Structure 1
Amino acid sequence: MPPFPSEMSYFNGYFSRHDQYLPLHKRPTFSRPSLLTLTLGLLVAIFAVANMVSLFRPVQSWPSPFDDYQALNTFPIINQSSNTSLQNHAIVTTLYSDSYAAAVATLGHSLRKANTNARLVVLYFPDRISPAALCVATSSGFESHPISRIPPPHNSAGMDPHFIDQFTKLALWSLDSLSIDSLIYMDADTLVLRNFDEIFSLPFSFAAVPDVFLDDRGFVITFNAGVLFLKPDTEIFHAMIDVLPVARFPPEYAEQAFLNQFFAPSAVRLPYVYNGNLAYKKRAPKLWEDIRGELRVIHYTIEKPFLGSHFKLLDWETLDERIAEAATSDGGFFRDEMELWGKTWQEARMEYAEKLDRCRRGR
């Protein structure tokens, strides 16, 4: 039988077929190649030989935590220490800016619709978040927990200004102080489609979903930090803070690069459906179509329907306009996802109307 065709992209010594993803249940059938096909193949081969110089250009390499391995994490992969009950599980998000208050409220409503049994906790900066924004963010059921900002190492050299607060995410490992035995962290720009409480039964200390890039890297072995499963442990938290100044990682990817370095050999890779990064759809539409029915989470990485330009805070009327605008951007490529977020936000506004009204009136 002829081999199943694939266009394989190279990354860190690993191969990926996602760029030409075809689910096995849709595998095409093949017929014997015709004389014309063989002739064309021969011509292509001749052309390739004539351009041999270009074929021998060195393959572009992309650094990974394994290329520059550092023994940062000395803690066991499997956590056998806790016998947890449902009330010891939590889903945690963060609020670093008033601009994300509506997003947190919408995330909370989507979690309620999914009937999660976990606690909902939002970490926030008390010196930066207004009472009105915190009120909106907690309207759908999040309990608020103030937290101190963890500054980036090396005075944020080489980092995108939008990511310099993200090292505060390391504080997740200190939440055993809230009697949380295991948690799922979710960026505020996520939306839940289905219950995923099954993740809490994992015996591992840390798990995440592999990342994807729109450039030559494509689908990679490193993970995205927008959805994380972890077992909080203050001892691990202090170990992270201790090694943060000396760890080597690409600064432009901030805390995500550090976490990939810290958990390089021990992170458990979760299926893509637990972090439906919109970049999956952009990079491999067929893959997105195939997993769409199983998605637990959509991650609004490329297009955020709740933010204006330059992360501008929007009032509710302008927010409705922004959602409509996001649905038509890029030729409407993400229309379904933008409209789904807008529908969920509208449901939250109706479901928690009384509390949201009090938030707007400052009561």
Structure 2
Amino acid sequence: MSLRAFLSRSHKNYVLLGHESGRPERRLTLRLAILLLVFAVSLGLNAFFYFRDLWSWPRPLDDYQGLNHSPLLDSLHPASAQRNAIVTTLYSDSYAPAVATLGHSLQRANTTARMLVLYFPERISQAALCLATSSGFTPHPISRIPPPRNGAGMNPHFMDQFTKLTLWTLDTLGIDALVYMDADMLVLRNFDEVFTLPYKFAAVPDVFLDSRGFVPEFNAGFLYLKPSTDVYNAMIEALPTARFPPEYAEQAFLNQFFSLSVVRLPYVYNGNLAYKKRSPKMWEGIHDELRVIHYTIAKPFVGRHFKELKWDDLDKQVVHAAKRDGGVFREEMEKWGQMWDETRIAYDQAHEDCWAE
């Protein structure tokens, strides 16, 4: 009887090493090949996204176009508290509670500037406009400025944002200097000192959560500017031919237009939640001096995909937003929720009238 026959009869589960040892080696080789393939794909994807980020955001000074020819300083219009304004925008009903809460936070901060909200009369309901203006904003109807090249390459959510250029026409309302604020902001303390700047344009540096990190380009959520219809006309003329990444809409265009003349404000004037996400230590460093919180990553007043919420459902959204990303923004979400509660109480009768309209 052969050895194989003997072992097969007496030890049915026994495998002779000399004849079967190739299978584990093949399995090991296959696993190594799969791991190497996964590693190569991962490395390739990381390299792709890294270089894509670099290519998609050409630096304005590296691609300087000489679009803006206005003087750096505004010597013709000295600062006047009576002719200063804080301006925000209302492009959809869903942002009405945010505008109302922003207005209340400005009132609490005792700003001396007039408050103005620009809105699309054909798109905003009377109830939403009533709520948005209940805390002190004066409504000013405007027309939409369409994006260049029919918005090719743009995020659909940014299609209205070139209307922001209308800010430069507000000299026709007797405004010498203004601070523009996105509606998704909350004011923590007075920042009227910005109005003493002699410069024509100032903004806060931006940040990205990818490999770019903190960049010299500015975020367009908080802008200080001296309105000028002449500058507005120059921007409208330059808009069709200016080169800028379309995915960043009017912010990229403004970075290109003001590339040589923008004054960088300290980070405390635009407390972008992306700062906290990117660098908690940096956020801790500016926390006690923050003038403004900018709710960029998580918004406590709209639902998924910017869905409009009923006013009575905002408390639930605040709780939901506070839990996002493991609760990293809990403090900021709760601050907005507290300010919204104050807004409802302070302007309760005005809000009742809004519901009745």
TM-score (norm 1): 0.83
What code does the residue aligned with 1:326 have?
A
Please give the alpha-carbon distance, in whole angstroms, between the structure 1 residues aligned to 2:167 and 2:104. 22
Secondary structure at the counterpart of residue 128 of structure 1 = coil
Please give the alpha-carbon distance, in whole angstroms, between the structure 2 residues aligned to 1:329 and 1:338. 10
What code does the residue aligned with 2:93 have?
D
Q: What is the aligned partner in structure 2 of residue 278 from structure 1?
A: 273
1:112 to 99, 107, 113: 107
Q: What is the aligned partner in structure 1 of residue 10 from structure 2?
A: none
Q: What is the aligned partner in structure 2 of residue 147 from structure 1?
A: 142
1:166 aligns to 2:157 (yes or no): no
1:310 aligns to 2:291 (yes or no): no
Deviations 1:132-191 (A, max 9, x none): 000000000000000000000000000000001000000000000110000000000000
Larger radius of gyration: 2
Deviations 1:117-141 (A, max 9, x none): 0000000000000000000000000
| Bigger fraction of residues in helix | 2
1:180 aligns to 2:175 (yes or no): yes
Please give the alpha-carbon distance, in whole angstroms, between the structure 2 residues aligned to 1:82 and 1:265. 21
Secondary structure at the counterpart of residue 217 of structure 2 = strand
Please give the alpha-carbon distance, in whole angstroms, between the structure 2 residues aligned to 1:176 and 1:164. 25
- 1:318 is displaced (CA, Å) by 1.6
1:353 aligns to 2:337 (yes or no): no
Secondary structure at the counterpart of residue 174 of structure 1 = helix
Q: What is the aligned partner in structure 2 of residue 4 from structure 1?
A: none
What code does the residue aligned with 1:166 have?
Q
Preserved contact between residue 79 and residue 195 of structure 2 (Cα < 8 Å): no
**Correspondence list, 1:74-85, <5 A:** 74-85=69-80
Secondary structure at the counterpart of residue 350 of structure 2 = helix
Please give the alpha-carbon distance, in whole angstroms, between the structure 2 residues aligned to 1:213 and 1:259. 18
Please give the alpha-carbon distance, in whole angstroms, between the structure 1 residues aligned to 2:311 and 2:237. 43
Deviations 1:43-72 (A, max 9, x none): xxxxxxxxxxx9xx9994451111211000
Q: What is the aligned partner in structure 2 of residue 233 from structure 1?
A: 228
**Correspondence list, 1:31-46, <5 A:** none
**Structure 1: gaps (5+ residues):** 1-53
1:95 to 83, 87, 90: 90
What code does the residue aligned with 2:125 have?
S
Provide the alpha-carbon RMSD of the alignment. Answer: 1.3
2:255 to 241, 260, 263: 260
- 1:211 is displaced (CA, Å) by 0.1
2:196 to 195, 198, 201: 201
Please give the alpha-carbon distance, in whole angstroms, between the structure 2 residues aligned to 1:322 and 1:271. 31
Please give the alpha-carbon distance, in whole angstroms, between the structure 2 residues aligned to 1:131 and 1:316. 15
Please give the alpha-carbon distance, in whole angstroms, between the structure 1 residues aligned to 2:295 and 2:136. 21
Secondary structure at the counterpart of residue 69 of structure 1 = coil
The number of equivalent residue pairs is 307
Secondary structure at the counterpart of residue 217 of structure 1 = coil
Q: What is the aligned partner in structure 2 of residue 157 from structure 1?
A: 152
**Structure 2: gaps (5+ residues):** 1-42
Please give the alpha-carbon distance, in whole angstroms, between the structure 2 residues aligned to 1:273 and 1:265. 22
